[in-house]
Structure 1
Amino acid sequence: MPKALVITAPGSRDVVERPIPTLPDDCLLVKTVSVALNPTDWKSADRKPPGQVIGNDYSGVVEEVGKGVKKAFRKGDRVCGWVQGCNSNNPESGAFAEYCIPKADLQIAIPDRLSFEEASTLGLGTITVGQGLYQSLKLAPPDAPLAQPELVLIYGGSTATGTLAIQFAKLSGYTVLTTCSAQNFDLVKSLGADAVFDYKDANAVQAIKDYAQDKLSLVFDTVAVESSAKFCGEVISSKGGDYSALLKVAVPRDDVRSLFTIGYTAFGEDFDFGGGIIPAKPEDREFAGQFMSKAATFLAEGKVKPHPVKLGPRGLQGVVEGLQDMKDGKVSGQKLVYNVADTP
């Protein structure tokens, strides 16, 4: 019987045997090849009830196409994208399993230039960037860039979402400022960041203000904690601006519009988040599907590159250790990836 990484008790997870999931009409049945880890994986696994399959990012091969799927997928296609892990609506739905059932409209065919390992890093981060930069901050789209550059700050540029955000913001014609640890400066510069600042440096706020000359009015915060919101509030123009974060944190300024996105709205269904129910947003699913299709073109052309991969051992069993490493803050500038076939 196939294996999957499942919440086995509150705060505990293990690899168990699990039947192949039932295929919903709007989904693909995918034989999973590679999976990639995100902070939301360990956070959800720690707080969700037992029985749910964990994991969001994957790549694999289509085994079967749901009868309601409109996108042109066929058996044998290499695909990647985002599947909702720790999903109370459908406990079978997570990515960390030998078979997964992603919603077809949120997936893309893997460009020939990318390996399964690289492709597995893309789904959650790409959709999250789409929501933050384009749905929330209303940046110029990457296929219709600005004629004259404007400033945007990506706080947390070396995160898996941050590296994608830098590249999309550059494609959209912006001058990109970013923050990260000094050890990751070369990474973010290689992806197009115009100016990089060490957020740990006591002079970082002043350095950004000196660079921006009171013209920074757009900020995307991929870290989304109280300290990052405070930092961002200190560098935004005295005239105000827009700040968008990946969680519900706010800049402590009345003249700054504090916005936030929760990536899971991309699935277009009600979901349990932080102990409450977030209502379905069909418009977010429509946007996410369109943005993934657009992103696929840039990935195929090599204009957007995946986050650096660190391939771990022991497949799904290795994921258990990787989740703990993420929780302990041991991962920086790399995406932990595991090949499912390596599971003991």
Structure 2
Amino acid sequence: MNSVVVKAHPLRCELVRVPIPQPGPDEVLVKVIFCASNPRDWKAPDHLIPGVEINQGNEMSGVVEAVGTNVYEFRKGDRVAAAHPMQTENGTYAEYATAPVNTCFLIPPNISFEEACTIPFSLCTAALGLYQRLKIPFPTSPDNAQIQPPLIVYGGASSIGSFTLKLASLGRFDKLIAVCGSGGEYIESLGIVTDFVDYRKGDVVNDLKAALDGKKCFHAVDAINNGDSWNHLVNVLEPQGSRIAVYLPRLDYTSIPSGISIGITFFGTVHGQPTPFWNHDCAEDVDFAYALFRLVSRWLSQGKILGQPYVLLPNGLKSVEDGLLQLKEGKISASKIIYRVDDTPIGS
């Protein structure tokens, strides 16, 4: 089968022929119909984990081809979307890929393969930050009926940021503030944000203070992690008892005051992978993801959450390199790049 290996310096992709993988005991094998790109797919080989050349794909939708010996919820022919463990073999830039059942969900009839493909990786990461790191009440908790203090999402139009806002809409917040730029129009269309701050105006801290209008803020999500973003946030969070969720464990967060708790959010914890440079045991994230992905199907069928807008590139797997370059060059905002595997030219 065709599989894409991502390389760096310069960023490039190679389409190779490899055997169809077999699912492990707690995995499903998916015939991939659509796969999606995330910023980490180019960042990992470029500087996060330099020198490692593998199939970096982590997000897909398709049809179950086979199931592992311990799998009882899924069967051949099921329409599913799934997230593949990071930095492991059998990634989603391929004709077939594997995924653990705890990060796989059934696609309800009202959701297309295209939309479903935009959901698994980013939504799960957003949920980890919001519920597991910030300790916001989960939608099934009785505490979810209580009005929470304001929540700030920096990078509201990013995949993680927009899913954070969509999940937050399942709760109640005194204010829901999004910091964004060109993607603000999409976030505004969701109708769930009370206040917008445009970082391009260059006065983020004062604009956030104006949006808070004197209200105390204890929770923020930094979905950008650009080196300055969390410094803006700590200037408006309460100096004691606040929490901030961040998403790049290899960055230096020592500028964050000691009175503000840092919740490093690393998608790999849902597959039992340790968080780099963070010694916290996040073993509970494995079961959290299992429960979340079962609810995702229900929420999608009820229209409570939606996927991301997407850009479908031509030529299937042959376009992964172009997609990753667009992400690296910052050409994509408020959209997910996806590929239809069957569009890969014959003979590639």
Give the TM-score normalised by the residue count of structure 2: 0.89
Give yes or no for contact 1:80–1:107 (8 Å, CA) kept in 2.
Answer: yes
For 1:265-280, list aligned pairs within 5 A.
Answer: 265-269=269-273
Answering whether residue 149 of structure 2 is matched by residue 150 of structure 1, we say: yes
Give yes or no for contact 1:41–1:85 (8 Å, CA) kept in 2.
Answer: no
* Residue equivalent to 1:15: 15
* Residue equivalent to 1:167: 166
User: Could you report, residue by residue, the CA deviation over 1:10-30 in whole angstroms, capped at 9, with x for unpaired residues?
Assistant: 754311111101221110011
Answering whether residue 96 of structure 2 is matched by residue 96 of structure 1, we say: no
Give yes or no for contact 2:245–2:265 (8 Å, CA) kept in 1.
Answer: yes
SS of residue matched to 1:296: helix
In structure 1, which of residues 107, 110, 114 is the aligned counterpart of residue 111 of structure 2? 114
Q: Return the offset for 1:84.
A: 2.0
* Residue equivalent to 1:258: 262
Change (3 A) 1:79 1:231: same
Give yes or no for contact 1:53–1:94 (8 Å, CA) kept in 2.
Answer: yes
Residue identity opposite 2:26 in structure 1:
D
Change (3 A) 1:117 1:48: farther
Give yes or no for contact 2:44–2:50 (8 Å, CA) kept in 1.
Answer: yes
The alignment's C-alpha RMSD in Å is: 2.2
Q: Percent sequence identity over matched residues?
A: 30
Q: Return the offset for 1:51.
A: 5.5
Cα distance in structure 2, aligned partners of 1:59 and 1:49: 28
Cα distance in structure 1, aligned partners of 2:51 and 2:69: 31
User: Could you report, residue by residue, the CA deviation over 1:79-127 in whole angstroms, capped at 9, with x for unpaired residues?
Assistant: 002002432xxx2x21110000100121000121111111111111111
* Residue equivalent to 1:194: 194
* Residue equivalent to 1:140: 137
222-231 vs 31-40, greater mean Cα deviation = 222-231
Q: Return the offset for 1:326.
A: 0.7
* Residue equivalent to 1:330: 331
Structure 2, unpaired ranges of 5+: none
SS of residue matched to 1:226: coil
Q: Return the offset for 1:320.
A: 1.1
User: Could you report, residue by residue, the CA deviation over 1:254-306 in whole angstroms, capped at 9, with x for unpaired residues?
Assistant: 322222111111111458x5xx8989853221111112222222122111111
Cα distance in structure 1, aligned partners of 2:273 and 2:235: 36
Change (3 A) 1:100 1:147: same
User: Could you report, residue by residue, the CA deviation over 1:105-164 in whole angstroms, capped at 9, with x for unpaired residues?
Assistant: 210001211111111111111110121000000001123423324210011000011111
SS of residue matched to 1:341: helix
Answering whether residue 72 of structure 2 is matched by residue 75 of structure 1, we say: no
Q: Return the offset for 1:44.
A: 1.8
Change (3 A) 1:57 1:185: same
